[in-house]
Amino acid sequence: MLNIRDFGAVADGKTVNTKAIQAAVDRAGETGETVLVPGGVFITGTIHLNGASLHLEPGAVLKGSTNIDDYPVQDFIHNEMGVLRALLINRDHDNVTIDGSGTIDLSGTSFYDTSVMNVPSSRVPFTEEQEAECTYPIGTRPSQCIFFHNAKNVTVRGIKVIDAPCWTFSFNACENVKLLGLTIDTSPNVPNDDGIHIASCKGVIIADCHISSGDDCIALSGITDWAKPCEDIVITNCVLRSCSKAIVIGYSYSYIRNVIITNCIIKESNRGICFMCNDTSALVENVRISNMIVDTRVRAGNWWGNGEPIFMMAVKHDYLIPAEQDPHRETDCAIRNVHIDGVTCMGENAMGIYGVDGNIREVELRNIDFTRKPSKNLPLKGNVFDFAPGRVDFEVPEDCGLYIGGGADVKLENINTRAWKIIRA
């Protein structure tokens, strides 16, 4: 292994070691060796892995600089997040591993004014406690902290990643990705600090992870390339907590297919499992979800979701993503062939499945146990489903446990909502 200390890196928690670490990485690209991050706190800015692997020893902390100038703007424009600024970048190189038992500290909260809260409009005034759950205002920040693009055979194993200023892990147009035994812990007040975002990838396994994030824990989309499917995904044995959506499948014009999610626990999340499609040019198909426990708690602030344990929507997404990005893909529906079996839900809002003109088809819910629990934050948005980034206004009937609307084709078997009604419209 190539020890970054041998290239001049200093573990004093003050020195910016970007040049020394990049020198070690560049040498590893020539020799095929792995770069070793030993014990100690090593400050750094943007590192281009270029196919090199990293091993973080026990006690090792690779800590992102708090100076935005240490994250140069890259020649990559993200469809939503704009220009790329990142701590670790690997583009167009295969066979990369990041492993060990050390920590990557992304120094996320340093890019925010934490004395100010972004309090949205609401139906009732916020209390001080509710204001404290809101997000910090967005400023200039690294946007895709650990960024992979067009890479095959990528493994990230065992490490801990904390305090992201925006998306923690971003995998785009990659194949054969394994994310195993990770601990991801981001601030509940930082906007967009998703745990893992998988975009237009093929063959991804996410297993044995603990993720606690402000925004989505795990997101599957096609946001990097709307024309390229995100497919063949397995998520298993994870414990998740999110101020937004614990697991979200689809977004705007995404095409997602062949997904298995099993043996996961979702705790205190603003929304549990979410399918999120535009009404046209989008498709989510062939999804199986089983053996889950989902617990929701409505979060104050600008987070998407409103306490729904299971939610599917296929409605127009009419903001954030420009209309000119529409790939004009021909689909006869937006969601189809989805099976959810064996889920225990404790929710502060009802479950919902809501499409347009029958664009949700061949959905089956079996062995679902739902318990509605009281919520101190539900009055902020009201007893509604949150359709963001769409603009549908829908009041959930007060006695509803599961609402199925828009002509959705849904088969139900052994659904226990207790005193709460199942409503089809």
Q: Is the pLDDT of residue 320 over 90?
A: no
Cα-Cα-Cα-Cα dihedral sign, residues 136, 139, 144, 145: negative
What pLDDT is attached to residue 53? Answer: 98
| Widest CA span in the chain | 68
**pTM, 2 dp:** 0.98
Sequence-separated contacts (24+) of 35-40 with Cβ below 8 Å: 35/1, 35/2, 35/4, 36/1, 36/2, 36/3, 36/4, 37/4, 37/62, 37/100, 37/102, 38/3, 38/4, 38/5, 38/11, 39/11, 39/102, 40/11, 40/12
pLDDT confidence band for 324 (50 / 70 / 90):
confident
pLDDT confidence band for 391 (50 / 70 / 90):
confident
**DSSP class of residue 332?**
S
| Backbone φ, ψ for residue 361 (5° rounding) | -135, 155
Specify burial of residue 395 (Cβ count, 10 A radius: 0-12, 13-18, 19+). exposed
What single-letter amino acid sits at 409?
A: D
Q: Is the pLDDT of residue 183 over 80?
A: yes
What pLDDT is attached to residue 80? Answer: 87
Domain CATH for 143: 2.160.20.10
- The pLDDT tens digits for 226-285 are 999 999 999 999 999 999 999 999 999 999 999 999 999 999 999 999 999 999 999 999
- Domain containing 125: what range? 2-424
- The pLDDT tens digits for 11-45 are 999 999 999 999 999 999 999 999 999 999 999 99
pLDDT confidence band for 407 (50 / 70 / 90):
very high
- Residues of the chain above pLDDT 70, percent: 100
What pLDDT is attached to residue 142? Answer: 96
Number of folded domains in the chain? 1
